[in-house]
């Protein structure tokens, strides 16, 4: 090799080496040192994919841990036609599962597009069947679905969620922020050598309720039977612990399926117990009597003269049976549910005192129950445009004002339990993803009456049941309660025949563990609450004392004596 040849060879070697170094350097830079921002927009599209991880919605359990609302995964079925190798076979297999004609499916599978949607939502069972075929090119994307394993049980309380998982009513709506959790998203690469950081969403928290599903079930069964027996249009039952305000059952019929709420008539979707307002009728006399006793206007032994009629603000008020019993004591007023007596008490108290007590009992205000869409009731307050002098008299026996069934339950619970007005609640505890638990404590809203007044009214309510409401009595248990028969205001007038029959009762009267409200709308068998709602109360109590292990009075007495002797 000549020197000239050697020189040329060296030039080639150096040139090739230089070019190689440039290429290797660029490769190393691409592989190791380039950041996302170094690429112009759009250059790396399709290189990765934005993965959005949806959190699992929190479950809802009853007080004993039974699932009331849970989750399942439906699936969206799609196909990437370019990846399909057995189009004919796939169409034949999917047709019966998806319920679509074979030729339509085949057309989609052979589409020139990159992706074709075959079914927007199929059940997990259908998805499993499709998965078993192991067809290439098929894509099954999970879609969360809320399920309610107990069916229609406590539908109004649970509420419902949209198909995209947003709570719209009931507990689902009120606790949306807690139940929903928080989605997480991240750009992920399909390359196996790129580190894959897992995308973790904040899961929804679980709710543990004060509701006992068995109590709820029994209440709904009795309510359904009552609607049928008395041919009532609708009805509600509330079961609560008067000492804490915890709600054990909230039954309203007719109900709807929370899983298929979108197919139900809109009128069924509201919660009658917290959203629907009604004129309470004679059960309001409990409050009037409590106000009169607490304000010191009367004592349990006071009497008044009942002439069978009283005129207030130009409005004549008569007793429901048009009777004129003459000299009457307070207990008899309650037992016989005398309108004239209630109006007399309201008149004696005067506007300021009477309405002051209504306010202390939270009438006309929301109680703050933890369920969506609570109504506050309607009261014409003195001085307002709509108020007349006659309202004082009619409000005393539950006409001319509107309350929710829950408001009546809570105010009666104050009479049953020491005069404390407890805030009603449904969620006992929230269990977060990190294991922490937030427990709910009973909350006293106000103390509208004294302990002594509460005991006095409770004793009157016991006598009232014992003397007049035989249908509400349960052998072995002392029950306090009050019936109510309310007229229904429609278009500015009262309906000539239709009524609302109601009964509020609590037991054991001396140390109440249960307070129950039964309300039947427009019963046809009888207009009176004592004939329709009171028997439902008694039948329900007979089952609940067994379920909740509430012993009869004599057993409690013997236990107290044994405990006393043991001290």
Partner 1 sequence: MSETKETTPKNRRERSIARVRQLIRLTEAQAVLGWAVLLVLAALLGAIYLHQTSRIAATGRHVQRLQAQLKDLQRQNVLLERDIAKAQSLERLQTEALRLGFQRARPDDIEYIIVPNYPLPGETPAPAAPPAVEPIDTIGEALWLAVRDSVIALVRGESS
Residues that bind partner 1 (CB under 8 A): 66-67, 70-73, 124, 142, 147, 149-151, 153, 191-194, 196, 198, 213-214, 217, 474-476, 542-543, 545-546, 551-552, 555, 558-559, 562-563, 565-566
Q: How far apart are CA 229 and CA 223, in angstroms?
A: 10
Q: Which is nearer to partner 1, 41 or 65 (CB)?
A: 65
Q: Which is nearer to partner 1, 62 or 279 (CB)?
A: 62
- Provide, rounded to whole angstroms, the least separation between the CB of residue 323 and partner 1: 36
* Residues in the chain, overall count: 567
- Provide, rounded to whole angstroms, the least separation between the CB of residue 433 and partner 1: 15
- Provide, rounded to whole angstroms, the least separation between the CB of residue 10 and partner 1: 10
Q: Report whether 100 contacts 126 (CB < 8 A).
A: no
Q: Which is nearer to partner 1, 38 or 128 (CB)?
A: 128
Bond before 254 cis per omega within 30 degrees: yes
Q: Which is nearer to partner 1, 322 or 564 (CB)?
A: 564
DSSP state, 212? -
CB burial readout 308-339, b (16+ within 10 A) else e: bebebeebebbbeeeeebeebbbbbbbbbbbb
- Provide, rounded to whole angstroms, the least separation between the CB of residue 203 and partner 1: 12
- Provide, rounded to whole angstroms, the least separation between the CB of residue 553 and partner 1: 11
Structure tokens at 129: 């069947």
- Provide, rounded to whole angstroms, the least separation between the CB of residue 192 and partner 1: 3
Structure tokens at 408: 């009546």
- Provide, rounded to whole angstroms, the least separation between the CB of residue 474 and partner 1: 7
Q: How far apart are CA 422 and CA 445, in angstroms?
A: 5
Specify which residues 147 forms β-bridges with.
70
> Could you write out the DSSP letters of every residue in 441-506?
---EEE--S-HHHHHHHHHHHHHHHHHH-GGG-BTTB--EEEEEEEEEEETTEEEEEEEEEEEEEE
Q: Which is nearer to partner 1, 452 or 560 (CB)?
A: 560
Q: How far apart are CA 420 and CA 245, in angstroms?
A: 10
Q: Which secondary-structure segment (H or E) carries 439? A: strand 437-439
Q: Which is nearer to partner 1, 99 or 151 (CB)?
A: 151
Rg (CA), the chain: 35
* Cβ-Cβ contacts under 8 Å for 446 (sequence gap 6 or more): 360, 361, 362, 421
Residues 286, 291, 297, 300, Cα dihedral to 10°: 40
Specify which residues 483 forms β-bridges with.
503
Measured over the CA atoms of residue 207, residue 212, residue 214 and residue 218, the dihedral's sign is negative
Q: Which is nearer to partner 1, 52 or 307 (CB)?
A: 52
Q: Which is nearer to partner 1, 8 or 495 (CB)?
A: 8
**51 in helix, strand or coil?**
strand
- Provide, rounded to whole angstroms, the least separation between the CB of residue 467 and partner 1: 23
Q: Which is nearer to partner 1, 370 or 553 (CB)?
A: 553
Nearest to 62 by CA among 278, 173, 237, 216: 216
Q: How far apart are CA 142 and CA 304, in angstroms?
A: 72
- Provide, rounded to whole angstroms, the least separation between the CB of residue 64 and partner 1: 11
- Provide, rounded to whole angstroms, the least separation between the CB of residue 250 and partner 1: 16
- Provide, rounded to whole angstroms, the least separation between the CB of residue 431 and partner 1: 16
Q: Which is nearer to partner 1, 418 or 539 (CB)?
A: 539
- Provide, rounded to whole angstroms, the least separation between the CB of residue 535 and partner 1: 16
> Edge-to-edge strand order for the sheet containing 514-521?
247-253, 234-240, 514-521, 493-507, 480-490
């Amino acid at each position: 090799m000549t020197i000239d040849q050697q020189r040329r060879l060296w030039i080639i070697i150096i040139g090739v080496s230089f070019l190689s170094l440039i290429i290797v350097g660029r490769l190393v830079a691409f592989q190791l040192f380039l950041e996302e921002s170094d690429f112009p927009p759009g250059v790396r599209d399709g290189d990765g994919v934005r993965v959005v991880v949806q959190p699992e919605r929190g479950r809802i359990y009853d007080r004993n841990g039974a699932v009331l609302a849970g989750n399942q995964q439906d699936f969206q079925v799609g196909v990437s036609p370019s990846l399909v190798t057995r189009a004919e076979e796939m169409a034949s297999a999917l047709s019966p599962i998806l319920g679509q004609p074979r030729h339509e499916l085949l057309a989609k599978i052979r589409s020139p597009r990159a992706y074709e949607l075959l079914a927007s939502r199929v059940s997990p069972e259908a998805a499993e069947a499709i998965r078993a075929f192991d067809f290439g090119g098929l894509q099954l994307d999970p879609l969360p679905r809320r399920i309610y394993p107990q069916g229609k049980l406590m539908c109004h309380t649970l509420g419902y969620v949209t198909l995209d998982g947003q709570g719209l009513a009931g507990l689902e709506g009120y606790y949306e922020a807690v139940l929903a959790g928080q989605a997480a998203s991240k750009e992920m690469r399909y390359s196996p050598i790129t580190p894959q950081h897992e995308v973790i969403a904040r899961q929804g928290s679980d709710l543990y309720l004060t509701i006992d599903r068995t109590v709820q079930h029994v209440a709904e069964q009795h309510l359904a039977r009552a609607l049928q027996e008395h041919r009532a249009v609708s009805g509600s039952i509330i079961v609560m612990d008067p000492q804490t305000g915890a709600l054990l059952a909230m039954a309203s019929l007719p109900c709807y399926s929370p899983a298929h709420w979108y197919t139900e008539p809109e009128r069924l979707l509201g919660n009658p117990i917290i959203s629907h307002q009604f004129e309470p009728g004679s059960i309001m006399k409990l409050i009037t009597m409590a106000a009169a006793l607490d304000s010191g206007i009367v004592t349990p032994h006071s009497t008044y003269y009942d002439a069978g009629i009283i005129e207030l603000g130009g409005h004549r008020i008569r007793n429901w049976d048009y009777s004129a019993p003459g000299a009457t004591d307070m207990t008899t007023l309650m037992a016989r549910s005398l309108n004239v007596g209630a109006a007399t008490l309201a008149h004696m108290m005067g506007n300021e005192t009477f309405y002051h007590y209504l306010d202390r009992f939270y009438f006309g205000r929301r109680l703050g129950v933890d369920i969506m869409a609570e109504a506050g009731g309607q009261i014409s307050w003195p001085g307002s445009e709509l108020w007349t002098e006659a309202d004082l008299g009619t409000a005393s026996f539950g006409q001319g004002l509107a309350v929710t069934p829950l408001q009546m339950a809570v105010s009666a619970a104050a009479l049953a339990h020491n005069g404390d007005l407890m805030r009603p609640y449904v969620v006992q505890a929230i269990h977060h993803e990190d294991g922490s638990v937030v427990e709910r404590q009973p909350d006293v809203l106000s103390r509208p009456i004294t302990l002594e007044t509460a005991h006095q009214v409770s004793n009157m309510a016991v006598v009232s049941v014992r003397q007049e409401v035989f249908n509400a009595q349960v052998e072995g248990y002392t029950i306090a309660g009050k019936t109510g028969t309310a007229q229904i205001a429609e278009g500015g007038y009262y309906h000539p025949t239709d009524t609302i029959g109601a009964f509020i009762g609590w037991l054991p009267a001396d140390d109440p563990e249960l307070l129950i409200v039964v309300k039947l709308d427009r019963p046809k068998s009888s207009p009176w609450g004592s004939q329709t709602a009171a028997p439902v109360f008694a039948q329900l109590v007979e089952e609940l004392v067994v379920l909740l292990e509430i012993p009869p009075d004599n057993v409690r007495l013997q236990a107290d004596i044994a405990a006393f002797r043991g001290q």
